Amino acid sequence: MGHTHIDTAALTVHAAAAALRAGRFSSVELVTSLLAAIREGNAGLNAYVWLDEEDALAQARRADAALAAKQPGALLGVPLAVKDNLSVAGQPCGCASRILEGYRAPYDATAIARLRAEGALLVGRTNMDEFAMGSTTETSMHGPSRNPAARDHVAGGSSGGSAAAIAGGLAIGSLGSDTGGSIRQPAAFCGCVGLKPSYGRVSRYGLVAFASSLDQIGPIVKDARDAALLLRVMAGHDPHDATSLGLPVPDYLAHGAGGDLRGVRLGLPREYFADGMDGEVATAVRCAVEVCRGLGARIVEVSLPHTSYAVATYYIVATAEASANLARFDGVRYGRRAAGTMSPREMYCRTRAAGFGSEVKRRILLGTYVLSSGYYDAYYLRALKARTLIRRDFEQAFQCCDALLAPVTPAPAYPFGAGSDDPLQLYLGDIFTATANLAGICALSVPCGRTGAGLPVGLQVLGPAFEEGRILRVASAYE
């Protein structure tokens, strides 16, 4: 045992599951190869922030016993990497923040429990922006992840560690969370497939909340079929999350089986192809549109007229919710506490002053401000109204098309140090992704080529709420 070396770089979740089932290699062999790849490659990418090799191998041995006993499980023996804001019982759940140093999750998130029930192994925690606030993983207490396609460039964020692990051959499949683009943007920057499910499709129970009306858990993987497979396992109603819906979960794999796009109407939102976009990104996305046309899709132009309000709306809603959600990190219940004898109030202030990084503090301040009396009507209430307009834009667009095609980001991955210390500049990069969260619809990113410098570009496919099967079909046909 342990002699067969498996090349994990191109291995997908579905291929690994099939190979394990067919006995072509064991889970221990797979995990051993993966751990070797991580040992070799992680120092350069900083994709994982925590790994327990012993426990990973113990999980693999149990999976091998279950495989030998022909026990069921769509993911039996397949190791997955998990973003550091998703609870896995007994593992750290640090959100890349000093304030959660030393904290271990007491239970499995529902999405994790469902993956585990299908036999998946939870082997490591991936890097992220602190509390998922950022677009580069540079706000992580562990330092940034590097882009496997160009190591002097960011991997994106906030789920940058998961994307870097997948693109760098250090993971078979991974999970991220998406509040305003944190699955799709790093997937686009690194050249992976990333899917943000519709709001309510996947339970948020056990996901450390950033902005509860926007957050969703989703896969970052190597192809559309893996996205379909992981989504199918995680999706569905959960009594622990009142916002998870009881709609039936279709067999996404049946849709995601390749084929053509005949009879599918794909809309191009005019406002997503406006000036100011990087020329190479625009060209790559337009080429992808032509590929879809060649596959039989009918391409129609549509308009999402309120797009220009998306970034402002998102940063008001997201920071308002974050300011409430992060109030629980007070040094009493979780993680770190300021040392010494002092009043509770002083302990609370010192813990938060030392525990949170500057981006998190900026957002708590912003969020508290927009909710404060006198400003609530001017900012928060207005943002809620703008959010409704943005949602209606999509409802209208989906009356004349089945799904939308768009860029994921206005530009490819940034080089380190190039403006990523300017928060406003970074916020503007969320323009094409934050809209889907505000509207509650589903959207994914699928690789659509590279720039001359070799940086990956993502094609975004957006669909109506609970029509993940549709966008997976488009992505799979495009692949």
- Residue of 249, 290, 473, 38 lying closest to 30 (CA atoms): 38
Query: What ranges make up the beta strands (E) of 114-269?
Result: 121-126, 146-147, 150-154, 173-178, 193-196, 216-221, 265-269
408 alpha-carbon distance from chain centroid: 13
The answer to whether the CB of 132 falls within 8 A of the CB of 363 is no
- Residue of 102, 42, 465, 455 lying closest to 284 (CA atoms): 455
Q: Does 97 bind ligand GLN (CB under 6 A)?
A: no
Residue 305 to residues 137, 270, 314, 391, Cα–Cα distance (Å): 31, 9, 16, 11
Task: Tell me the per-residue interface mask from 295 to 334 with ligand GLN, x by CB under 6 A, - otherwise.
Answer: -----------------------x----------------
Concerning whether 158 is annotated as a catalytic residue, the answer is yes
Q: Per CB under 6 A, which of residues 175..214 are in contact with ligand GLN?
A: 178-182, 210
Residue 225 to residues 79, 194, 379, 398, 426, Cα–Cα distance (Å): 17, 11, 41, 24, 31
**Distance of alpha carbon 132 from alpha carbon 129, whole angstroms:** 5
Of the candidate spans 44-52, 129-137, 228-236, 401-409, the one that interacts with ligand GLN by CB under 6 A turns out to be 129-137
Tell me the closest approach of the beta carbon of residue 466 to ligand GLN, in angstroms: 20
**Distance of alpha carbon 363 from alpha carbon 315, whole angstroms:** 9
- Residue 379 is given by DSSP the state I
Q: Does 430 bind ligand GLN (CB under 6 A)?
A: yes
How is residue 262 written in tokens?
């005949």
Concerning whether 182 is annotated as a catalytic residue, the answer is yes
Residue 26: other Cβ atoms inside 10 A: 22
Tell me the closest approach of the beta carbon of residue 39 to ligand GLN, in angstroms: 29
Active-site annotation holder among 97, 135, 158, 177: 158
How is residue 73 written in tokens?
């499980």
Of the candidate spans 98-106, 130-138, 403-411, 454-462, the one that interacts with ligand GLN by CB under 6 A turns out to be 130-138
Q: Does 29 bind ligand GLN (CB under 6 A)?
A: no
By CB under 6 A, how many residues form the interface with ligand GLN?
13
Q: Does 132 bind ligand GLN (CB under 6 A)?
A: yes
* C-beta nearest to ligand GLN: residue: 182
Backbone φ and ψ of 97, nearest 5°: -120, 140
Tell me the closest approach of the beta carbon of residue 322 to ligand GLN, in angstroms: 9
Residue with Cβ nearer ligand GLN (91 or 158) = 158
Residue with Cβ nearer ligand GLN (78 or 436) = 436
Q: Does 135 bind ligand GLN (CB under 6 A)?
A: yes
Of the candidate spans 174-182, 298-306, 384-392, 404-412, the one that interacts with ligand GLN by CB under 6 A turns out to be 174-182
Helix (H) or strand (E) holding 112: helix 110-117
Residue with Cβ nearer ligand GLN (76 or 431) = 431
Residue with Cβ nearer ligand GLN (95 or 459) = 95
Q: Per CB under 6 A, which of residues 230..289 are in contact with ligand GLN?
A: none
Concerning whether 97 is annotated as a catalytic residue, the answer is no
Tell me the closest approach of the beta carbon of residue 458 to ligand GLN, in angstroms: 14
Residue with Cβ nearer ligand GLN (278 or 479) = 278
Which of 26, 158, 451, 476 touches ligand GLN by CB under 6 A?
158
Tell me the closest approach of the beta carbon of residue 301 to ligand GLN, in angstroms: 28
Tell me the closest approach of the beta carbon of residue 325 to ligand GLN, in angstroms: 12
Residue with Cβ nearer ligand GLN (33 or 177) = 177
Q: Does 156 bind ligand GLN (CB under 6 A)?
A: no
First to last CA, the chain: 36
Active-site annotation holder among 83, 140, 162, 177: 83
Rg (CA), the chain: 21
27-45 vs 53-68: helix axis angle to the nearest 10? 150
The answer to whether the CB of 252 falls within 8 A of the CB of 232 is yes
Name the pairing type of β-strands 193-196 and 216-221.
antiparallel
The answer to whether the CB of 155 falls within 8 A of the CB of 146 is yes
Tell me the closest approach of the beta carbon of residue 219 to ligand GLN, in angstroms: 15
Task: Give the binding site for ligand GLN (CB under 6 A).
Answer: 132-135, 158, 178-182, 210, 318, 430
Q: Where in the sequence numbering do the catalytic residues fall?
A: 83, 158, 182
